[in-house]
Amino acid sequence: MKLSVAIAGKDAPDNAFVVWRGFEESTRKAAELGFHGIELALKEASEVDPTRLAALLSEHGLEASCVTTGQVCAVLGLYFTHPDSSVRARTLEVFKELINLASDFGQLVNIGRARGWYAEGQPREETEQLFIDTCRTLCDYAAPRNVTIMIEPVNRYEINFINSVVEGAELLDRVERDNLGLMPDVFHMNIEDIGIGKTLAAYIDRINYVHLADSNRLAPGQGHLDFDDVFAGLRRGNYDGWVSIEILPKPDPESAAEQAARTLLPMVERYNRGDDFT
Ligand code: LER
Ligand code: MN
C-alpha cells in the first residue's frame, strides 16, 4: 500500500478538495512530508506539461498515483448525462486527453461529479443509459492505453446519482467493462454505506483506489472516523493499491497535510508490515 496526496493547479476552486495548489510547490511539499505519490486533480490535461511533470516526480522520488476529474464538472460544467449531445461530445474529448495523460502517470482516472445526475424532466432510464454509454466509450478508449477508469460514489448532499459503494458496484455490472472499477471515498462512505471496513472488504475485488478524509473532511485524526476499521477492511481484502488523502486545507494547508501524514504514514507502514488492525 502507498499513500498519496491530492494536489491541483494554482487556480483550482475550493471544491477541488485539495490541500495544496500549484504542482511544483505541492510536489516538493509532498516529498518533504514523506508521501509516496501525488494525485493530480485536473480539469484538463493541458494544465500539466508531461515532460516537466516526469522530471519533477523523478527529482522528488514520487509517483503519480491517479488523475482525478472533479473539476471537469465543477469548473468546465461538463458531464456524462448532459441532455445536449455536443456537451457530451466535449466531455468525451476532455476525458480522452486525461486518459492519455494517465497512461503515463498512474494509469487510473476517476469519474466523480462528471458522471452527471438525475435531472428534472429527464427520465431516470435515460440518465443511466447516457452514463453507461459514456463509460463504455471511455473504457474502450482507455483499455489499450492500460488505463483503468473508476466510479467514485459521492454522497447525496453533493449529487443524486451513485451515492454508495453498493450502487457503484451495480453500475459496474451494467457497464460490463473489465477496466472499470471503484474508487471509494471514506468521507462519502461514512454518510452512505452500512459500514466502512466491512463494505471495503466486501467489494475489494472491484476497488482500485481509496480516498481518505475524516468524518468532517479534515485530516484523518481530526474527526470521528475509525481508521483502524478502514485499514482492517482493506487488510481483509488484501488490498495493495493506493490510498490518498483528499481533505480540506484547514486550519491551513501545511497543518492539514502534516496532520494527515503524521496519522496515516505510520498506519500504512504497519499495514505493509502485516500488523493487525482491530
Ligand atoms: C472527489 O474526489 C470527491 O470526493 C467529491 O466530494 C467531489 O464532489
Ligand atoms: Mn473523493
> Which letter, b or e, does each residue of 197-212 get, where b requires 16 or more Cβ atoms within 10 Å of its Cβ?
bebbbbbbebbbbbbb
Does residue 68's CB lie within 6 angstroms of at least one atom of ligand 1?
A: yes
pLDDT at residue 78, rounded to an integer: 98
Of ligand 1's atoms, which has the minimum distance to the CA of residue 68?
2
Which ligand sits nearest to residue 158's alpha carbon?
A: 1
Of 203, 207, 211, 201, the closest CA to residue 181 belongs to 207
Q: Which domains does the chain have, with CATH numbers?
A: 2-273 (3.20.20.150)
Mean pLDDT of the chain: 97
Query: Are the beta carbons of 72 and 99 closer than 8 angstroms?
Result: no
Of 103, 38, 44, the closest CA to residue 70 belongs to 44
pLDDT at residue 162, rounded to an integer: 98
Cα 210 to ligand 2 centroid, rounded to whole Å = 8
Residue 265 pLDDT level (bands cut at 50, 70, 90):
very high
Of ligand 1's atoms, which has the minimum distance to the CA of residue 41?
2
| Share above pLDDT 90 across residues of the chain, in percent, rounded to a whole number | 98
User: For the residues 183-206, what does the mean pLDDT come to?
Assistant: 98
Residues designated catalytic: 152, 246
Cα 77 to ligand 2 centroid, rounded to whole Å = 18
Is the pLDDT assigned to residue 195 strictly greater than 90?
Answer: yes
Element (H, E) at 50: helix 50-60
CA-nearest residue for atom 5, ligand 1, is 154
Is the pLDDT assigned to residue 139 strictly greater than 90?
Answer: yes
User: For the residues 140-161, what does the mean pLDDT come to?
Assistant: 98
What would the pLDDT profile of 59-74 be if each residue is shown by its tens digit?
999 999 999 999 999 9
For the beta carbon of residue 246, count every other beta carbon within 10 angstroms.
24
Query: Are the beta carbons of 80 and 72 closer than 8 angstroms?
Result: no
pLDDT at residue 65, rounded to an integer: 98
pLDDT at residue 85, rounded to an integer: 97
Residue 86 pLDDT level (bands cut at 50, 70, 90):
very high
Cell numbers placing 63: 509517483
pLDDT at residue 242, rounded to an integer: 98
pLDDT at residue 278, rounded to an integer: 86
For the beta carbon of residue 162, count every other beta carbon within 10 angstroms.
26
Q: Is 226 left (phi over 0), alpha (psi -120 to 50) or beta?
A: beta
Q: Which of 111, 152, 193, 245 to mutate to test the pocket of ligand 1 (most atoms within 8 A of CB)?
A: 152
Is the pLDDT assigned to residue 91 strictly greater than 90?
Answer: yes
pLDDT at residue 120, rounded to an integer: 97
Cell numbers placing 175: 457497464
CA 65 – CA 88 distance, rounded (Å): 27
CA 141 – CA 118 distance, rounded (Å): 26
User: For the residues 114-138, what does the mean pLDDT come to?
Assistant: 98
